[in-house]
Structure 1
């Protein structure tokens, strides 16, 4: 962090060249006056390196703690599955039979544990590489903004797209290789093979849990500390270099909104793929050994990558951004174009890869499904995701009446603002829930649980485009921060602010996709669980089930309370530290003193590492404890209650 001490000061030559002064005595860089570009590049590189160092340091520290926890949980998974007799339906006593080696439970548990670790590692690597790409891109976006908003947009969007394609392709490749390697052991035992593969989705979502919670605590603590003291109390601009929490705030954008968000969507992506594969393995695909048919979920994801690659060209090559007002429409068009092209792609692979008719087994019954029926299941998930995304954007964008009403309520004080905000959050649940309900009903009617699983996959089939838009926002936000800290002109900051504002609005659309797909895949996994556990009916009138329902419905609130309290505690420490520095460091407000950025970074890091374990343990250990102590019926209730409650809470927030 030593390099931060020299930030924001221009050279005497730059001052002599006529740069204008900002509010605390530093000369601003006016690109049209032809100042030395080397000064600009050096300052931006210094700030970018500081942000990158802070983000990398945090992630390495976080991954050390998470690695220990994941290793312990992997041992728990191995012991639990290894103790279950007949974990695979084709398991036999450990003897040779008909020339095939036996599949004892311990060996099956070993493969499940290995896939769990693979999922966690893939999620970890994807999030880390996405963060590195973002930190390399933020300063470049700032420098490109000197040439115009169009050039800056292309840099930020292409950088976000790299992360999107990296995550989607790496998840797909690792999953496909794992299936083929495990097949050498399982042979024709498709059900056992794909049950062991479910560990891949569990590992990805478990890593996402810690990445999202840890990164979220970090970024919100830094953001609150920087804004409350800097913007509210001291009336200085956002990302002002005099603010001691400004570097921590920019680091938080990368570890929370890039690495954490990437791991989060990877978890949904991996789980939806695994859920669809498990259900396919017990269908006629498994009986007929139709490997292509069983890999239909992977083909959907593969086509999605190609479609997203073509869609990206519309934003960066086919059309040029020439004005600020064109940014947000360009991002929205990405989602619409990718959805339309993906519909055509799904139709083609459904016709080529699937037989005209096949059988799906559902809770002891059989259902005949056509390839076009399965196409409709994927398509309805795809378009429902788009609807949910745009409804989410409607309730979060300042271009529409809901947010304008909340803003208008501020005229009469904080009380009415909170009331309007809560009402808006509750109201935003209505249309997405109906969209999810219709998707579930239609897809289940056509193809039972398999239909729900592929509908969830349809929502995430354009994940590369969604991630590109999501990652674009934090990159643009950091670009604006670098412009402010480097003392660049107000015109540059206006351009980066416009990029950031569009990213914040469209990022809500990506979150809508994630919420809807998580609901569908959770239902598919729940169906696979009760079917595999031998539960014929989940009777809500049974005391055990009802107790599980109300406890499960409480869990999202418990989890939210833990994470919110953690953010509050960390933010309190951050506010106190920022106030202390402003009050005790001579010349800090005048721009002659040097803020202690490193202490603020340490506060966010320590708080997030310390506070992320309890919420993660709550989520991961609850099913094990409930299932062991109270049985399958109660666990079924807990899972159902958490699913229903969690969707509502997530959309509301």
Structure 2
């Protein structure tokens, strides 16, 4: 059995990938088979679908120009195998986001119709729509990396050539992820902030009121940002983590056996089975949304943990040496448990800081009673407090797994953590689907009870979105540590000498400072983009309301397309510079003779450290602000129309670009920097 797993383990894992794709197809058919409501509902849903599709097509054209330039550079400066990997990574990342989003924009209207029947019907439709994205991410990620690795190994006859080429696939998926996250985030939050500032604060309109000219743009944005953007983001994290595990296994193991390379694939394959059982549980459970969704994650993690115990001991009957340390099956299995445990820890901690059921959000809601400023102060402090426990968990995980199995142990923990993406991303896409369902219910003038059901689901969805963003950023911190280790090992192999990063070396300190400022500069550009685009939306909404007074009394239909066009152009134009910052920083530092590989290593560490804190703080603050607003709208602290409510809307609009644009985009940006550093080693350091 051990020989079979060693020789055919990658192929076996790909079978689970195919199973995941088949399950995604079944879920798509289930979602599309659900009733889509009346003609008015279908009309609104089609407008959202058309807007989302049009934006993604224009985004694809913009990204393609940059991708082609990079593709030519990679082909010219590296080799055709790396260039092929770049194409595959980019295409699969786009496919995961695009298909998942197109299912989500069809699930929203069906969720609204389901809400008119029962709470559980709506929850099931929304979750299944999100589960399609989750399964696509893990199945496409596993299949793309596995098939490409086997193909290059077969034609080259060398595992080394296959491992080297995987860096191209990682870069392709990461590049698309940064653009999708930034572009989608700018789009969705510019529309959302613009709609709220005029609609709620100036005109006292409710959420998704059809009289608001920015309503359709807001609903489109939920899909291109939270569905397509998040799918591309986690696909990239999943693929990069798997590649990192393979790369570290090859670079640090003293054995010629394929065991260290096969093990990460088998972890990902087994976890797809766990995700399928978790999805099944959510579908059959007749309990509230939060316990059902969290229960699905728990089942997925437990099943994966149980199945990986015999598999690990079968694959590693004897200890294997990694970087001079003998590592046995028990030690590797402990690293698996740490990765899965870190997932649960991240979910619990993020839920505590962003859920209406806990003190941080309720304390934030109380701060709204004394005005806008106290709400903003409390929200920022909540985000800062939220960094403590996740970072301590990450630090503890790094320390323990490194003591057990060195850098390979950290890599296995990361792979185990990301292997649960199938169920975790299902939770994330659940949020925008239920949010859109509420919008369709209001714009279609359905019974107010339908909106009450979708609002309950949306509140859960907000917390789940915050949880998945925290999960993605925490995993990015671990994954970046693995990539940094890979960078150091690649330097040793390429330049045939040992490298140490001494804090007394000014090059290291310079790199740390430059790397530390990158996340700040990156998020600043992202926030600026949302602010300027939202300002343009505000002006357009005010113009329409002034020019056509009949909009407010319902006798004149707003020109929804104008706001859609404004945010589309702004998102595509303003995502380019921040997305290219990682490339600029890496090449400039690497090319300066006085800095070179030592300073570049410092840059990687600086980016990881500050990026991790910024990402966690921004997403936690934004999620807390959003749910504090919903908590007040449920009737607490005076409810709608009060000073507290107006202050909470301000907090929510500030938190929107925090949690859905700048904060989450830091995650792929960190890994782009590290992957680029590995990629340029043979090109710039000779």
TM-score by length of 2: 0.82
Structure 1 residues 38 and 112: CA distance shift in structure 2, 3 A: closer
Aligned to 2:205, the other structure's residue is in SS state: coil
Aligned to 1:492, the other structure's residue is in SS state: helix
Question: What is the CA-CA distance between 1:468 and the residue it aligns to?
Answer: 0.6
| Equivalence for 1:479 | 437
Structure 1 residues 443 and 38: CA distance shift in structure 2, 3 A: closer
| Equivalence for 1:625 | 588
Distance 1:441 1:80 in 2: 37
Q: Does 1:635 align with 2:605?
A: no
Contact 2:246/2:260, CA 8 A, preserved across alignment = no
Structure 1 residues 38 and 120: CA distance shift in structure 2, 3 A: closer
| Equivalence for 2:311 | 349
Question: What is the CA-CA distance between 1:192 and the residue it aligns to?
Answer: 2.8
| Equivalence for 1:6 | none
Aligned to 2:209, the other structure's residue is in SS state: coil
Aligned to 2:357, the other structure's residue is in SS state: coil
| Equivalence for 1:11 | none
Contact 1:425/1:652, CA 8 A, preserved across alignment = yes
| Equivalence for 2:477 | 519
Q: Does 1:58 align with 2:55?
A: yes
Question: What is the CA-CA distance between 1:537 and the residue it aligns to?
Answer: 0.9
Distance 1:428 1:598 in 2: 39
Distance 2:525 2:73 in 1: 24
Distance 1:621 1:78 in 2: 19
| Equivalence for 2:243 | 274
Contact 1:44/1:486, CA 8 A, preserved across alignment = yes
Q: Does 1:418 align with 2:376?
A: yes
Which of residues 250, 274, 281 is equivalent to 1:314? 281
Q: Does 1:370 align with 2:328?
A: yes
| Equivalence for 2:508 | 545
Q: Does 1:41 align with 2:38?
A: yes
Question: What is the CA-CA distance between 1:38 and the residue it aligns to?
Answer: 11
Structure 1 residues 583 and 530: CA distance shift in structure 2, 3 A: same
| Equivalence for 1:613 | 576
Moved more, 399-408 or 128-137: 399-408
Distance 1:579 1:519 in 2: 43
| Equivalence for 2:265 | 298
Which of residues 615, 625, 634 is equivalent to 1:650? 615
| Equivalence for 1:533 | 491
Contact 1:172/1:302, CA 8 A, preserved across alignment = yes
Question: What is the CA-CA distance between 1:506 and the residue it aligns to?
Answer: 2.1
Question: What is the CA-CA distance between 1:282 and the residue it aligns to?
Answer: 2.9
Q: Does 1:261 align with 2:219?
A: no
Distance 2:343 2:277 in 1: 20
Aligned to 1:147, the other structure's residue is in SS state: coil
Distance 1:500 1:40 in 2: 19
| Equivalence for 2:199 | 230
Question: What is the CA-CA distance between 1:346 and the residue it aligns to?
Answer: 2.1
Distance 1:270 1:129 in 2: 18
Contact 1:296/1:354, CA 8 A, preserved across alignment = no
Which of residues 212, 217, 220 is equivalent to 2:186? 217
Distance 2:420 2:36 in 1: 41
Contact 1:393/1:508, CA 8 A, preserved across alignment = yes
Please give the per-residue CA displacement for 1:82-111, whole angstroms capped at 9, x wherever unaligned: xxxxxxxxxxxxxxxxxxxxxxxxxxx221
Aligned to 1:589, the other structure's residue is in SS state: helix
Q: Does 1:569 align with 2:566?
A: no
Contact 1:350/1:371, CA 8 A, preserved across alignment = yes
Please give the per-residue CA displacement for 1:566-605, whole angstroms capped at 9, x wherever unaligned: 0000000000101111111131101010100000000110
Distance 2:143 2:417 in 1: 20
| Equivalence for 2:652 | none
Question: What is the CA-CA distance between 1:646 and the residue it aligns to?
Answer: 0.4
Contact 1:394/1:400, CA 8 A, preserved across alignment = yes
Which of residues 128, 132, 138 is equivalent to 1:162? 132
Distance 1:141 1:348 in 2: 41
Q: How many residues align?
A: 578
Where do residues 556-595 of structure 1 align in structure 2 (5 Å cutoff)?
556-595=519-558
Where do residues 413-452 of structure 1 align in structure 2 (5 Å cutoff)?
413-452=371-410
Aligned to 2:503, the other structure's residue is in SS state: coil
Gaps of 5+ in 2: 1-33, 493-497, 619-686
Question: What is the CA-CA distance between 1:311 and the residue it aligns to?
Answer: 1.1
Moved more, 139-148 or 526-535: 526-535
Distance 2:240 2:291 in 1: 31
Which of residues 158, 164, 174 is equivalent to 1:195? 164
Please give the per-residue CA displacement for 1:528-570, whole angstroms capped at 9, x wherever unaligned: 1012113521112111110110110011000010000000000
TM-score by length of 1: 0.87
Structure 1 residues 111 and 235: CA distance shift in structure 2, 3 A: same
Question: What is the CA-CA distance between 1:413 and the residue it aligns to?
Answer: 1.8
Please give the per-residue CA displacement for 1:51-79, whole angstroms capped at 9, x wherever unaligned: 01000000000011111111112223334
Distance 1:284 1:241 in 2: 61
Distance 2:405 2:251 in 1: 13
Structure 1 residues 586 and 376: CA distance shift in structure 2, 3 A: same
Please give the per-residue CA displacement for 1:3-52, whole angstroms capped at 9, x wherever unaligned: xxxxxxxxxxxxxxxxxxxxxxxxxxxxxxxxxx9995211111111101
Aligned to 1:359, the other structure's residue is in SS state: strand
Aligned to 1:425, the other structure's residue is in SS state: helix
| Equivalence for 2:67 | 70
Distance 2:238 2:351 in 1: 22
Question: What is the CA-CA distance between 1:300 and the residue it aligns to?
Answer: 0.6
Structure of higher CA gyration radius:
1
Aligned to 1:282, the other structure's residue is in SS state: helix
Distance 2:228 2:45 in 1: 17
Structure 1 residues 284 and 560: CA distance shift in structure 2, 3 A: closer
Aligned to 1:368, the other structure's residue is in SS state: strand
